[in-house]
Amino acid sequence: MPKFVLIGGGDISLGETANIDRFTISLIGNENPNILFFPTAAHDNVEYANLFREYYLSLGCSETNSCFVQKENTVDILEKIRKAEIIYLGGGQTSLLINLFDKKKLVSALKEFSMEGKVIVGMSAGAIALGETALLSELDEQEEVFGHSWGLIPETICVPHYQQKYQNKIDRFRERYPGQNILTIKEKQAYFIETSGTKIIKRILIND
């Protein structure tokens, strides 16, 4: 059954999502799972990847690897996905993440991965990409820009970095997309979601 952890934001170097990350590891039933990190939305930033690896090493996860989508060939990426137990999609530019995965034809591999009962984590941009429709603009921007996303989490628009001051904008989103669930996620907060077919069957709020 597909499992997702959607994180609204937080600085991992400060341990701001530590409880969420420990919860994610516990979902595997293995204290040292194979974790694959994609810094794609951050332009394959090596420093971000190194920081992620050091952080997860501090949580006891020695099998932590990164994948640089712009540099690696699709065959090698697919092999890394096959070996992973947790995939973590990092934050950054949502449109870049969506477009590069589409270009490399990796979305079907993510879907197959999730159907094996493994865990996909989305931080900020990563969370947005997993929904049915993507919010491509920032919440503090006046113009609202939407686009396609991968639809691994059905009938859902993920909105990370939520604050109460954005509620009027969220209400407009609901009017614009009445058939979709607008899932607002605050900083240092996450939702654990399980899906079955085209439905969300479990949704649990996690606070750090």
- Per-residue pLDDT of 110-131, as tens digits, reads 999 999 989 999 999 999 999 9
Looking at residue 208, what is its pLDDT?
A: 65
Write out the residue range of the structural domain in which residue 121 sits: 3-207
For residue range 24-37, what is the model confidence (pLDDT) as tens digits? 999 998 889 999 99
Give pLDDT, residue 30.
86
pLDDT digits (tens, 9 = 90+) for 141-153: 988 999 999 999 9
Q: Left (φ > 0), alpha (ψ -120 to 50) or beta: where does 3 sit?
A: beta
Judge contact between 19 and 169, C-beta under 8 A.
no
Domain count, the chain: 1
pTM over 0.85: yes
3-state class (DSSP) for residue 77: helix
Consecutive H or E run containing 203: strand 199-207
Specify the CATH number for the domain of residue 56: 3.40.50.880
- Distance (Å, whole) CA 92 – CA 128: 11
